[in-house]
Structures are given as C-alpha cells and as structure tokens.
Amino acid sequence: MGLLSFFSKPARPLLQLHSGSFSLDRGGSVLATTLPSSFPPELIVEIGRCVVETFQAAHAAQLPLDELGVYYPGLTITARELRGGALVFLTTSTSSVSTHKLKTSDL
C-alpha cells in the first residue's frame, strides 16, 4: 500500500464551470451577473467580448443576428443581442453526459 499512497497529492483548483447569466453593454462591460464570484471575472469578460464581437461582425457582414448559440461538449452559451450589448446564458451539460458515458459497454 505504500506504493499506492504515491497516487495522492495536494489539490490545486481547476476551473469549475457554472450555469448562470450575465449582461453586457455595447462596449463589452459586464453590467450584471448571476454567476458565482468563484467564476473568473476575466473569463466572463472574454465570453462577453467574443459574443459582442460576433454580433457586431455579423451585422457588418449584412447578417444581423438576434441570437447566438455556441455549443461545446461541456457547455452551451446562448446569447441574445441587446441594443448593441448582449444577454448571455451559460448552461453546463453535466448530468446528461455522465449517465451516458458511464455505461460499461462504452468502455
């Protein structure tokens, strides 16, 4: 068992994703958020920047959009255009993935 005790070491925090929402003005400044304070503020700003830039670039490409959906395996970002800014929703896809992937036939 001495050998197996090697397998543990002190924990360091990993980025935890959360479901929640936030709003941005047209300059990309965060106005309000329901995300927990543990979620890195710089990531909220980065998500907002990507969303606002995409809306603005779409408008410039003569493709005005009201809603964006960005789909990752672990997270969905939904954003609604709001007078040049945006209302952004984050939804983690925790539960549905775990039940599927833990089937032994998938291993």
Partner 1 sequence: METRPKALLVDDDPDLLEVYRETFAALPSQPEIHTAPSGARAIAMLEAVPYRLLVTDLKMPKMDGLQLLSIVRRKFPELRTVVLTSMVDEQFRSRVYALGVDLYWHKPGTEPEMKQFMECLESLLGRESEPGFRGMQSKSLVDLVQLECISQSSSMLRVTNGPFIGSIWVNDGELIDAETEAARGEEAFQEILSWRTGNFEFLPPEPGRARTIFKSYNALLLETAQAFDEAGNTDNSANAMPGQAAGGDTNGLTTLSQHDGVEFVLRITAETKVDSRGLENPERLASWTRQSLERFRTLGEALQAGTLEQVTGLGGRRNVALAQKGHVALCVGWRQTFGAGEIRDRMRKILTLWGS
Of 21, 54, 87, 89, the one binding partner 1 (CB under 8 A) is: 54
Question: Does residue number 83 form part of the binding site for partner 1 (CB under 8 A)?
Answer: no
Return the HEC string of the chain. Answer: CCCHHHHCCCCCCCCCCCCEEEEECCCCCEEEECCCCCCCHHHHHHHHHHHHHHHHHHHHCCCCCCEEEEECCCEEEEEEEECCEEEEEEEECHHHHHHHHCCHHHC
How far apart (Å, rounded) are the C-alpha atoms in residues 68 and 3? Answer: 51
Of 27, 32, 38, 62, the one binding partner 1 (CB under 8 A) is: 62
Question: Binding pattern to partner 1, positions 32-51, x when CB under 8 A?
Answer: -----------x--xx--x-
Question: Does residue number 31 form part of the binding site for partner 1 (CB under 8 A)?
Answer: no
Of 21, 64, 82, 85, the one binding partner 1 (CB under 8 A) is: 64
Q: By CB under 8 A, name the binding residues for partner 1.
A: 1, 3-4, 6-9, 11-12, 14-17, 43, 46-47, 50, 53-54, 57-58, 60-75, 78, 92-95, 97-98, 101-102, 105-107
